[in-house]
Structure 1
Amino acid sequence: MEHAPAPRRRRALPCTVLSSALCAGLLAGCGDPGPTLHEPWFGGYVNATAYPVYDFAAEAAGRSHVVLGFVVADPEDDCTPSWGGYYGLEDAATDLDMDGRVTAFRDGGGEVAVSFGGAARDELATACTDREQVYAAYRDVVDRYDLDTVDFDIEMDDLENYEANTRRAEAVARLQEDRPHDDPLEVWLTLPAGLAGLEESSQDVVAQMLGAGVELAGVNIMTMNFDEGKPASQSEYDASTEAARSVHAQVKDLYAEAGQQLSDELAWNRMGLTPMIGQNDVSAEVLDVEAAEQLNSFAREHGLGRVSFWSLNRDRACGADDPDPQEANDFCSGIEQQRGEFTRALGEGFED
């Protein structure tokens, strides 16, 4: 079903696009320097509700970031956040030791991000139609885990839900407005991408976030499961970088439509890459360690703002007790590898 174009608010021109003479003469009133580069980071996703539970505080110790997923709507209460639809926030503290592990990981020098959404269950803004309660649900999660970074993984039917995407954008903008100036909330959108980049529905999600006034740290693209869009002869690395180059041009356009003029360097900085390690859900697609090393080099050479992967739970070879390695599963990569080898390959050169 078609919907009206996403609203896109334009901002005042930053000083960087005014004449140097004018800026010099009006320096006191020219406080907005325009978009600036963010510090790049690396952090693998954790499937927080997969069993056996992945102890990220121990297994990922020494890494700068982990991204815990996914917070979704409680199936019994649309406006209440839950982990995977299985654990409320209190239940997660008791049954998963979520609070304790977050604290332990931070005590080791790492930072925790939480991802809302994902491919399964309903994202909060989709299930909950009350704008105030959507905002409150996000705020409960941010406050409970004292978050500086949040991720919204928008997939499947959620991409086409214009009303839900509007509720989400408005709530996230409020979350950022609530923060002290010296303690901002970093917000990422994680979206599927093909060789031609983001589909129109994904572009609308970005435009709605920017149009609502969200200071969007970047667009993190899932470089996985290309399926029929990818020629059989094309490697997973080549497909991923082709998708990234396509999205780079789209990011420049989307931010420009929101009044933010990005250089090529800044546009790369507003992007992230998230491959699926090892065997992908599409049987013919496999990302090996060599390709992961190449993706890491691509990201560092182009100055991407973020690299992640799905998932830390899977960063090991399959054993005899694991499911068929030729089919993607939550517990192992499906290829021969050393434990943690993808984490090292994709995280090389990022601050630990």
Structure 2
Amino acid sequence: MSRRKNDAGEDVQPAESGAAPRKRSGRHPGKRLSPWRVLLGIAVATVVVASAVTVPWYLTQRDAAVAETAGPQWFGGYFDVTAADVSMSPTTGDGNDDTVVLGFVVAASAQRCAPTWGTYYTLAEAGQQLDLDRRIDGIRREGAHVAVSFGGALNTELAVACDTTSSLMQAYSRVLERYSVTTIDLDLEGAALLDTAAADRRATAISALQRQHEARGGALDVWVTLPTATTGLTDAGLDAVRRLLEGGVTLAGVNVMTMDYGTDLGGATMAEASIQALNEVHDQLTQLYRNQRIALPAAGAWAVMGATPMIGQNDVRDEVFTLADATELSDFAQQRDLARMSMWSINRDRTCGPNYPDVSAVSDSCSGVEQGTQTFAGILSTGFDESPSDAAATPAATPMPDDPETSPYPIWSEDAPYSHGVRVVWHGYVYAAKWWVSGGPEPDDPTQTADATSWVLVGPVLAEDRPFALPTVADGTYPEWNVGTVYRKGTRVVVDGVPFEAKWWTQSEDPMDGVTDRDRSPWEVLE
């Protein structure tokens, strides 16, 4: 990600409006004024009157885009939805009302104005294949909050693909309504930062959505996340903030990506470089809000700022954000009372395993630094114990009865084998296998520790779940499986109308095991 240095301009205080000149006697009382002096006096009086009228009108017409009191101070790590296995449960920070920021919702393509998760899944497909709706429900049941991030470094941002404000509003609304989120994050990078037409559509659509929420007695908190250099936001980044404000968006804050600087840091640590960047952004936002005549909270620009480091190994090989950096940045953020602390990403908050040979190569699944028993989330969340607004209240725990006719996945059985990632239902909840497992203990066995259990809780069975059903074929399509027959690779059989195909030579192994054992069973279901 290339960045350019911003021109550092001195803060210029706006000239104070003067009062109309007072009539007084001069050195030549009674002296007749020339026509030129009369005209000049009229012109001066006109300017003074205009300034006395126009400025107050502007100030009264312009709604402040930030409340005069600071908002909540919250921690929310980003969770890369498409990079995570279903059996991976998003962890939060220190457990004090933290937030999970789900990323990234983007357009289906450069020409298709439809919200998707990373272009890989539609919202419906994410619900079916990733159990995302259920996992969101589970996150909330555990006391955490959920926000959604639009954009990111890859793919096409929605405002770029949607060529009308109405279509963009519809795309945003589909996400907000499906997941009941009231905090969103606009992650603007690359082409999305340079497209001014998209920026204006984005501002108009978001502003209208905020007014809709307000009309219903609610609120929509909007954060904009931007790349930075150690010298501050780029000109395009500042312009993105300005266009949102001028478009009527009430910004909860500006989140700064303190990562991937790609320049010589002059021996500075990643924490020192990040603190320098945040100080520069603070000054930029102070001037920008002053220019826009928008009141900041009493704490100033710090109260509308957030920081998001990339934990561990950054995309730039020489940049590594260590646990010590996390501690130093956390201390600074608390001293300045930043409104938000985040990190990229929850998926990476662990030490890489011994079989990952080059930790300088960025992994989606580990940090690249030795963490021991510590987590970056635990350090960075310190002091950020509040939460952004979350319209979806924690649902009551009312598990539905286990019924094979209505359950979205097979009911767990002690006799069945299960491959990694396979999901089952047990006592009204959905669980995913962490590795191949057969037999007990039960998925909800309370004596099992998090490390020892073979199962991870995904979330409750939901009333709107569709029943699990295997595909069937017409009678006579394939021969019935026989326990004594030898079957070679590619042979097809049916069991109770369900079609299977042999993956290799097999005899006497029940094809039905292939429903849940996708790794070791010689049979796979024909879809």
CA contact (8 A) 2:66 2:294 kept: no
Q: CA deviation at 1:252?
A: 1.4
Q: Please, what is the CA RMSD of the aligned residues?
A: 2.4
8 Å Cα contact 2:224/2:254 also seen in 1: yes
String of CA shifts for 1:249-274, please: whole Å, max 9, x gaps.
11112222332132671310100000
Tell whether 2:204 aligns with 1:156: no
Check 1:15–1:130 CA distance in 2 against 1; reply closer, same or farther (3 A cut).
Answer: closer
Q: Give the alignment partner of residue 12 of structure 1, picking from 60, 63, 74.
A: 60
* C-alpha distance in structure 2 between counterparts of 1:54 and 1:306, whole Å: 28
Higher helix share: 1
Q: Residues 292-336 of structure 1: CA distance to partner in whole angstroms, max 9, x if unpaired?
A: 011111111101000000000000011134473111121110010
Residue 225 of structure 2 aligns to which amino acid in structure 1? T
Unaligned 5+ residue runs, structure 2?
1-57, 387-527
Q: Secondary structure at the match of 2:317?
A: coil
Aligned partner (choices 170, 175, 183) of residue 136 of structure 1: 170
Give the whole-Å Cα distance in 1 for the aligned partners of 2:265 and 2:231: 13
Offset of 1:33 from its aligned partner?
A: 10
Match of 2:393 in 1: none
1:284 equivalent in alignment to 2:332: no
Q: 2:76 aligns with which of 43, 56, 81?
A: 43
TM-score between both structures, scaled by the size of structure 1: 0.87
Q: How far did 1:14 drift?
A: 9.2
Structure-2 separation of matches of 1:279 and 1:95: 30
Identity in percent:
41
CA distance in 2, matches of 1:218, 1:51: 28
SS in 1 for 2:252: strand
Pick one of 191, 199, 215 that aligns with 1:165: 199
> Retained in 2: the 8 A contact 1:277–1:310?
yes
CA distance in 1, matches of 2:257, 2:331: 17
Per the alignment, residue 91 of structure 1 pairs with 125
User: Are the counterparts in 2 of residues 34 and 260 from structure 1 also a CA contact under 8 Å?
Assistant: no
Q: Distance in 1 between matches of 2:345 and 2:113?
A: 27
- Corresponding residue SS for 1:193: strand
Q: Indicate conservation of the 8 Å contact 2:76/2:98, yes or no.
A: yes
- 2:223 is paired with a residue of what secondary structure? strand
2:134 aligned to which of 87, 91, 100:
100
Say whether residues 1:226 and 2:226 are aligned partners. no
Q: Is the 8 A contact 2:66 2:296 kept in 1?
A: no
- 1:204 and 2:239 correspond: yes
**Which has more radius of gyration?**
2
Asked whether the equivalents of residues 35 and 260 of structure 1 are also in contact (C-alpha less than 8 Å), the reply is no
Note the alpha carbon deviations across 1:185-208, whole angstroms, 9 max, x for none. 100000001111111100010001
Structure 1, unaligned runs of 5 or more: 1-9, 17-31
Given the alignment of the two structures, is residue 109 of structure 1 paired with residue 157 of structure 2, yes or no? no
- Among 251, 270, 275, the alignment partner of 1:241 is 275
Does residue 72 of structure 1 match 2:106?
A: yes
Counterpart-to-counterpart distance in 1, 2:152 and 2:280 = 23
Task: Provide the secondary structure at the position in 2 that maps to 1:219.
Answer: strand
Of 155-164 and 321-330, the range deviating more from structure 2 = 321-330
Deviation at 1:97, TM superposition (A): 0.7
2:420 aligned partner: none
How far 1:148 moved relative to its partner? 1.3
2:389 is aligned with 1:341: no
**Alpha carbons 2:230, 2:280 under 8 Å: kept:** yes
Deviations 1:66-122 (A, max 9, x none): 100000001286211000000000000011111011111111111100000000000
| Residues 242, 131 of structure 1: alpha-carbon distance in 2 compared, 3 angstrom cutoff | same
Q: What do the CA deviations read for 1:229-262 (whole angstroms, capped 9, x no partner)? A: x424111011000000000011112222332132
Which among 235, 248, 251 is matched to residue 213 of structure 1?
Answer: 248
Taking structure 2 as the reference length, what is the TM-score of the superposition?
Answer: 0.59
Identify which range, 333-342 or 102-111, moves more after superposition.
Answer: 333-342
Shift of the 263–185 alpha-carbon distance from structure 1 to 2, 3 Å rule, reads closer
Question: What secondary structure, in the 3-state scheme, does the structure 2 residue paired with 1:308 have?
Answer: strand
